[in-house]
Amino acid sequence: MTQTSDARLFPVLLSGGSGTRLWPLSRSLYPKQLLSLSEENTMLQATALRVPADDRFAAPLVICNNDHRFIIAEQLRSIDRPALSIMLEPVGRNTAPAAAAAAYFCLQQSADAIIVLLPADHVITQIDGFRARLDQAVALADKGHIVTFGIKPTEPHTGYGYIRQGAAIEGDAFHVDQFTEKPDAATATGYIADGDYSWNSGMFVARADVLIAEMERFRPDIMQAVRLAVDRAEPDLDFLRLDAEAFAACPAQSIDFAVMEQTDHAAVIPCAFGWSDIGSWNALWEIADKDADGNATSGDVILRDVKNSYIRTEATVIAAIGVSDLTVVETSDAVLIAHRDRAQEVKDVVDILKRDDRVEHESHVRHYRPWGYYEPLDYGPRFQVKRLMVKPGAKLSYQKHHHRAEHWVVVSGTAEVTNGENTLLLSENQSTYIPIGTAHRLGNPGKVDLEVIEIQSGSYLGEDDIVRLDDPYNRADHETK
């Protein structure tokens, strides 16, 4: 549900990426912006908290895809930053349509709205420095500039686009002379020597009406499709669904190509506030705390004669002996081992997994749902065992199955169970059996997490064997559990 706001500064969190270069930790159904990689908060939460919580700023507007909506809503709720709105893109169309939709939406909230476009998967370590530059960018945007934050380069990096600054505007802000795509090493080295180039951060600040006017000027086809998608948008619980037909017809393009490389309103502020887009495991190693041998570790790791490596484990102990310059990342269902210099090639592995229809590119063993999550524990012919965690106050859909029976055993917490015509409360070590075809529901009426072991038995155990009779989350039929 969209809130209302009297503010004129609107943070817009762009959360549509899949983060394939951080596989196996980042998966398409749980990408890097939803993970805690460099601090306790997730990258999405850190981005929301980066914006000052004062009366100048509205609550964040989040633009994401349908699969992530409940996780994003919960993550913002847990840091007491509920969204102004969570706008759902039916398909990905890059940053220009997302920016145009945000500008058009925010202009309806305030006639002099200024939007602050922030990718939700960046790390910034110097928050005060960022906020100072944000105030500077807002002042420039108020004068009609479309402002981007250029990052002062520390090396001739070939994984970033570059911005060449032109004539000075005021203070240390400049007109943009040129945008350049990712260069080769020799060209990047020349840019560093020149001194007038910054890395393109992908963060922008602009008056909503100015950005819309420039979109109308350079890409009227995008703006026309976006207007229609927003005007026809439908509220769905706490979300705003852009019209699928209109948005799907929108051309895909980045805001850099659509507007910034053509407009004469573009301005750049060179910044040095500890920025990284965490585009690879090597980038995460670069910003991580390291031991005396240059190793960055996370989890249960034992090292002996190891140098300059990034080693992360989520589930088991990792012991490394006599190696150097490695990236090792372990999850419960996959292990990555790579030389640090070849970290960008992880994307190729993900492409292979997709080609072979492997589930490891898409989801973890733990499957998140709006009510909590479930984890498969064991399976065999005609049986499957899962662990369910149901959040306080949450409940699963009211449902039945054509091909399987279920047995629920409460491990901890209190379960409210609908089993056919009966409703019962179960506590620790109590259980119930649900025959095939019986309508049932599991809920958590308590104040602590509910943990349940679910034993399924039957001729077919696929997640698509669900007939929903009532769903508090308005999910489509293909969204299981």
Which 3 state secondary structure label does DSSP give 154?
Answer: coil
3-state secondary structure of 58: coil
CA 99 vs. chain centroid, Å, equals 16
Question: DSSP character for 247?
Answer: H
Where in the chain are the domains? 9-276, 281-355, 367-470
CATH homologous superfamily for the domain 9-276: Spore Coat Polysaccharide Biosynthesis Protein SpsA; Chain A (3.90.550.10)
Is the pTM higher than 0.85?
Answer: yes
In CATH, which of 2.130.10.10, 3.10.20.30, 3.30.160.20, 2.60.120.10 is domain 367-470?
2.60.120.10
- Residue pLDDT tens, the chain, 481 long: 566 556 689 999 999 887 789 999 999 989 999 999 988 999 999 999 999 989 999 999 999 999 899 999 999 999 999 999 999 999 999 999 999 999 999 999 999 999 999 999 999 999 999 999 999 999 999 999 999 999 999 888 888 889 999 999 988 999 999 888 888 889 989 989 898 899 999 999 999 999 999 999 999 999 999 999 999 999 998 899 999 999 999 999 999 999 999 999 999 999 999 999 998 999 999 999 999 999 999 999 999 999 999 999 998 999 999 999 999 999 999 999 999 999 889 999 999 999 999 989 988 888 899 999 999 999 899 999 999 999 999 999 999 999 999 999 999 999 999 999 999 999 999 999 999 999 999 999 999 999 999 999 999 998 888 999 999 998 876 566 5
251 secondary structure, DSSP code: P
Q: Please, which residues have CB within 8 angstroms of residue 72's CB and are 6 or more apart in sequence?
A: 15, 34, 44, 62, 64, 83, 86
* Cis-peptide into 24, omega within 30 deg: yes
Rg of the Cα atoms in the chain: 24
CA distance 328 to 210: 46
Element (H, E) at 212: helix 208-218
The DSSP result for 326-378, as a single string, is EEEEE-SS-EEEEEGGGGGGHHHHHHHHHHTT-GGGT--SSEEETTEEEEEEE
**The pLDDT of residue 6:** 63
Residue type, position 228, single letter: L
Q: How many CA atoms lie within 13 A of 167 on its CB side?
A: 3
- Amino acid code (one letter) for 137: A
Residue 321 CB-half CA count within 13 A: 1
Position 18 scores a pLDDT of 78
Residue 426 carries which DSSP code? E
